[in-house]
Amino acid sequence: MEHPFLPEDKLTEKAQQLVEQAVILAGGNPPDARHLLLALIRSAKPLVLSAFPSQNIEALEEAIAAELDNPASPFAISYESVIELAMRIAKREKHPQTDVAHILKAIAVLGGWISREEIFPESPLMYKIGSNVTEQARQGRIPKVVGRDREIELLMEVLCRPINPYAVLVGMEGVGRRAVVQGVAQRIADGSAPQPLRNRLLVMLPQLFDHPDFMGKLIEEATQQNAILYLEPFETFLSAPAPQIETLRMEFLSALIARRVPIIGAVSSLQGLRRHINRAPDLLKRFQPIEVCPLSADETLVVLQQLANLFKEQQQLEFPDETLQKIIEVADEHIQHRPFPDKAILLMDHVAGRARANNLQKVEPRLVWETAGIVTGLPIGEGEVSMLESLRNLESFLKERVMGQDEAIETLVRVFSLKIRRLDLRPERPNGVFLFAGPTGVGKTETARALAEFFFGSRDKMLRLDMNQFYEAHTVARLLGAEFGYIGFDMGAPLLDFVAENPFCVVLLDEMEKAHREVHKVFLQIFDDGYITDAQGRRVSFADSVIIMTSNLQPEKEVGFLKEHPTLEDWRKAFAEHFAPEFINRVDAICVFHPLSRDTVRHIVRERLLKQILEVYRKRGIELTVSDEAIEWLVERGFNEHYGARELERVVERNLLLLLAPHVPTMVDAVGGKPQEFTVVVEDDQLALK
């Protein structure tokens, strides 16, 4: 029986059956508290007896039945009021759905048999902002932690210390630091934890507020309830935005330590932890670092199998083992900036959402590829086949966008194809570190922009940094961000912020030779390790990005000889004057862009600029013809060996577009009108219209 007033997704099956019985008692109308209580007495009498042991249930049943015909009955409390309160009680008790016991409690509160304070006592502050992980484990609401026995045992050892029961979990975000804490809570809940931890509350605080009264109350509650505190935002907690706040936070930490309240924190790197220790050594040296490494693929598979069981039970969504294996495989190959198990869980969650949105009950491996293409932005929607097809099309796309540089483009695509398919020996490194060499205006920046557009889905997936602005040693701070206490501390680092938010991207470092050697050292670490740690300890991975450096150096100027076509070795000698040998050795490929020939410039005018112009003006009702003489006139004035094609665009804009502008009608006038025909010619050594 279905009724529009039954919130079936919020009620357990037993609660739904109870409401249906009440509806029958109400003659098919919305029931109230009387019908619900009568249905409870008749279908769940033991529950009612346990709730009200002193009550005569038979007499109560007769009294309620007699009240059904009394419209002024004090028990005629609306169905909505009962269910709303029952749902609040269920939520407070941390139940995902409302059961018959919650409905009974709601009726008892609304009927005045028990006080609201019995149901909603004043809860400790730390429960209002945090969660009791021990109770969650006791209720079976946390999946069994896999592959973390060593870390869990070590953490419990630290928490049992009588003098310094303070630990800090060290590992990149997503590696499973919270899972280690949950593993300790599970040991406490099932009674297998060491004696000093038995029956202890483990409370996770996901946020903190910088107020003395607030912190004082937390200290008192943690002490009184013998709690273990997990300060999840520990790295943020240590990175105070102002000296006054840092002092307040250190006082809070000091008070907890003075009362021997066990504390667990988490940071992303030892390097970041050491930086914080230097500011408060007396406190932070008490914390024992415990490294949390990524899970293996096999261990991650066990985690996914547990989640699959959960999804099947709660969402009626089936993940066969072959689909879970495909999730592991795709995440391992195409998501490098996150660790296991995080990246596999992320992908599985996206796949589950896509399956539910499309009303699927069984998730096939095909759906994993489709979802991975959306998550990463890479062209892998149909698996490796679509990746290979895109790589084949990439070369022709780049050659069409950047003319006259076939050799450089072929080198780029060849190396990029190897990297993006994870066929190289160091998949944790970036998806290619390239050095584009050649004069200005020949297509280096345009090639980088076209790569971002074609392969990563948007020109916005490219960040360009002018390395002229990093010619001094102290400008390293602009790359890594400023440390605590320095100006710009809270402004972040544009490069690292961009890559953290857009891991699948192109980073263009323009005129790299102009940057200081200290800046080169920063990028050397990125090229070699695939990640960098900023001034505040945040680890940012470049494993899924492409790094392209440009240089305007010329071999003939740098090494003292003239050649019409310098060899790659000539370019390496030129770069050796500005870059350390280890820096050049980390470059995957040097792509040489040659000066544009007159024929290439002519081709650019005909095939790119004029095609674009003709299409724009055709929409405005103008059919335009450009004579060969006019094209040669543009080429003659736009060709420049030193500035490449940049001067060409300016010449076309100043001479051709300004000539046409007075004759262009509005879009409204152009619709339905007869097209105007113009021919661009050369008269008296100037462009003219006929």
- DSSP state string for 496-549: HHHHHH-SS-EEEEETGGGS-HHHHHHHHHHHHHSEEE-TTS-EEE-TT-EEEE
Whether residue 412 is predicted with pLDDT greater than 70 in this model: the reply is yes
**If residue 576 lies in a helix (H) or strand (E), which one and from where to where?**
helix 568-576
Mean pLDDT confidence for 446-457: 95
Percent of the chain at pLDDT exceeding 70: 93
Pick the closest to residue 495 from 545, 459, 449, 537 (CA basis).
545
**If residue 334 lies in a helix (H) or strand (E), which one and from where to where?**
helix 321-334
Domains 13-119 and 126-291 share a fold: no
Whether residue 640 is predicted with pLDDT greater than 80 in this model: the reply is no
Helix (H, G, I), strand (E, B) or coil at 184: helix
pLDDT-derived band at 2 (thresholds 50, 70, 90) equals very low
pLDDT-derived band at 390 (thresholds 50, 70, 90) equals very high
Q: Does domain 407-592 have CATH number 3.40.50.300?
A: yes
Q: Name the residue ranges covered by the structural domains of the chain.
A: 13-119, 126-291, 297-376, 407-592, 598-689
**Can you tell me the distance from the alpha carbon of 586 to that of 449, in angstroms, rounded to the nearest whole number?**
22
Angle between helix 365-376 and 321-334 (nearest 10)? 30
What is residue 1's predicted lDDT score, i.e. its pLDDT? 38
The residue with greater pLDDT, 527 or 382, is 527
What is residue 561's predicted lDDT score, i.e. its pLDDT? 46
CATH topology of domain 297-376: Helicase, Ruva Protein; domain 3 (1.10.8)
Structure tokens at 461: 């997936």
- Tell me the per-residue pLDDT of 553-570, one tens digit each, with 9 for 90 and over: 888 654 444 456 678 888
- Identity of the residue numbered 39: A
User: Which top CATH class is 598-689?
Assistant: mainly alpha
User: Which top CATH class is 126-291?
Assistant: alpha beta
**Can you tell me the distance from the alpha carbon of 154 to that of 150, in angstroms, rounded to the nearest whole number?**
6
- Identity of the residue numbered 476: V
DSSP alpha helices (H): ranges in 111-211?
116-119, 125-129, 133-138, 149-159, 177-190
Whether residue 3 is predicted with pLDDT greater than 70 in this model: the reply is no
Q: Is the dihedral of CA 651, 652, 656, 662 positive or negative?
A: negative
> Which residues sit opposite 266 in a β-bridge?
169
Q: Residues 6 or more apart from 488 whose CB is under 8 A from it?
A: 477, 481, 482
What is residue 114's predicted lDDT score, i.e. its pLDDT? 79
Whether residue 278 is predicted with pLDDT greater than 50 in this model: the reply is yes
Whether residue 186 is predicted with pLDDT greater than 80 in this model: the reply is yes
Mean pLDDT confidence for 127-155: 89
What is residue 485's predicted lDDT score, i.e. its pLDDT? 55
Query: Strand ranges (DSSP E) for 451-510?
Result: 462-466, 506-510
555-576: b or e for each residue (b if 16 or more CB lie within 10 Å)?
Answer: beebeeeeeeebeeebbbebbe
> Which residues sit opposite 164 in a β-bridge?
none
- Tell me the per-residue pLDDT of 218-268, one tens digit each, with 9 for 90 and over: 999 999 889 999 998 898 888 887 888 889 999 999 999 999 999 999 998
What is residue 270's predicted lDDT score, i.e. its pLDDT? 87
Whether residue 303 is predicted with pLDDT greater than 50 in this model: the reply is yes
Whether residue 617 is predicted with pLDDT greater than 90 in this model: the reply is no
The residue with greater pLDDT, 122 or 688, is 688
The residue with greater pLDDT, 7 or 111, is 111
- Tell me the per-residue pLDDT of 62-73, one tens digit each, with 9 for 90 and over: 888 888 887 767
- Tell me the per-residue pLDDT of 205-228, one tens digit each, with 9 for 90 and over: 988 778 898 899 999 999 988 999
Structure tokens at 247: 């002092």
Q: Does domain 13-119 have CATH number 1.10.1780.10?
A: yes
Average pLDDT, the chain: 88
